[in-house]
Amino acid sequence: MARQPILEFWYEFASTYSYLAAMRVEAAASEAGVAIRWRPFLVGPLFAAQGWTTSPFNLYPAKGKNMWRDVEREAARLGLPPVTRPAQFPQNSLSAVRVAILGQDQDWLVPFSKAVFTASFAEGRSIAEPAAVTQIVDSLGLDGTQTVRAAAAEANKTKLRVSVEEARSRGIYGAPTFLADDGELFWGNDRLEQALAWATGDRPKGLR
């Protein structure tokens, strides 16, 4: 039996286009016959390293205004609920991503991640406080209090830092990003189809 191709999906809970990608990546990957490895991380440290103190969508208002409109349009096109903007943007995603890192090889990583995105962008709820993340974990039938506590352990915090450093060293500069196992990098929800094709060995003709 041939090994199923693998594509890494690097995502950030504060990122609107990571949300759109998270809600459609499973169906698209299944159709393409590709296994997705979900890789939660933080883009904040990468943005800070290039001198940004907040999201570029806040730094550049015309760009930010159209981003929200575009996300509304794309969400509607994908059949997602109407987008509701969280009161804070970008939200502090540290508590949520620590839990996701703890869940890296667990079967609850994907439902947890989708629940965080849905809370943030479909329901406009805060995901910033540990209590909000606890509630989301609880809603999956797991022990939220214990999970959030375990996620704050030093070893898990280090795992997150290592993931962010891995992202940077592999050329990631934003979210979402798709990484094929040969290192080919595709940035943005709009490149999911191309990344899946690449992972299956379907490359554009004439590419040098």
What are the catalytic residues? 15
> Nearest Cα to 170, choosing from 154, 155, 158, 187?
187
Give CA–CA dist 32/146, Å, rounded.
37
CB of 43 to a copy of itself, least distance (A): 12
Applying CB under 8 A, among 33, 65, 88, 139 the residue interacting with a copy of itself is 65
Applying CB under 8 A, among 68, 89, 108, 187 the residue interacting with a copy of itself is 187
- Name the 3-class secondary structure at 37: strand
> Nearest Cα to 101, choosing from 59, 150, 54, 44?
150
166 binds a copy of itself (CB under 8 A): no
Applying CB under 8 A, among 1, 107, 155, 208 the residue interacting with a copy of itself is 208
User: Interface residues for a copy of itself in 74-103 (CB under 8 A)?
Assistant: 74, 76-77, 79, 82
CB of 60 to a copy of itself, least distance (A): 5
61 vs 141 by CB, closer to a copy of itself: 61
70 vs 165 by CB, closer to a copy of itself: 70
26 binds a copy of itself (CB under 8 A): no
